[in-house]
Amino acid sequence: MNAMKKITVEATIENIEVITEFTDRELEALDCPIRPLMQIRVAIDEIVSNIARNAYAPGTGTITVVFSFDETERMAELTFIDEGVPFDPLQREDPDITLSAAERPIGGLGIMLVRKTMDEMTYRREEGKNILCLRKKI
């Protein structure tokens, strides 16, 4: 793994852009192709918006995003860390996409999309923190 870089910001919808710009800089320096870049951007939007809306409700807190890169595997790794309520997105069942939007309960599509577009997704709860790691080959 190359050196890790990280950013810590308030867990708000507005800071999705700050986190995206941080990761874009790292990925662009690695000549990341547009497809994985866009998939990572969608994942950031989904994960950070979930944390912003749910982790600390009704209050607020921080989110730390750690970026690292494995040159040998050409694997980008993003780790999202928050101290909000425990939530393991991997335990959530995918929504039934055979149902119409009107019949389907709200929620779950974004997490399903992230799971399907990332190469690896892991979650652990450690020392009162949610730690969600996404890995994507670039």
pLDDT of residue 100: 52
Domain 5-137 homologous superfamily, CATH:
Histidine kinase-like ATPase, C-terminal domain (3.30.565.10)
pLDDT of residue 22: 98
pLDDT at res. 123: 96
pTM, 2 dp:
0.86
Locate the domains of the chain by residue range.
5-137
3 state SS of 110: helix
Q: Is the Cβ–Cβ distance between 114 and 42 less than 8 Å?
A: yes
Divide the 138 residues of the chain into consecutive groups of 10 and give the mean pLDDT of each group: 87 97 97 96 94 90 97 96 92 57 54 89 96 97
- Alpha carbons 138 and 115: distance in angstroms, whole number: 16
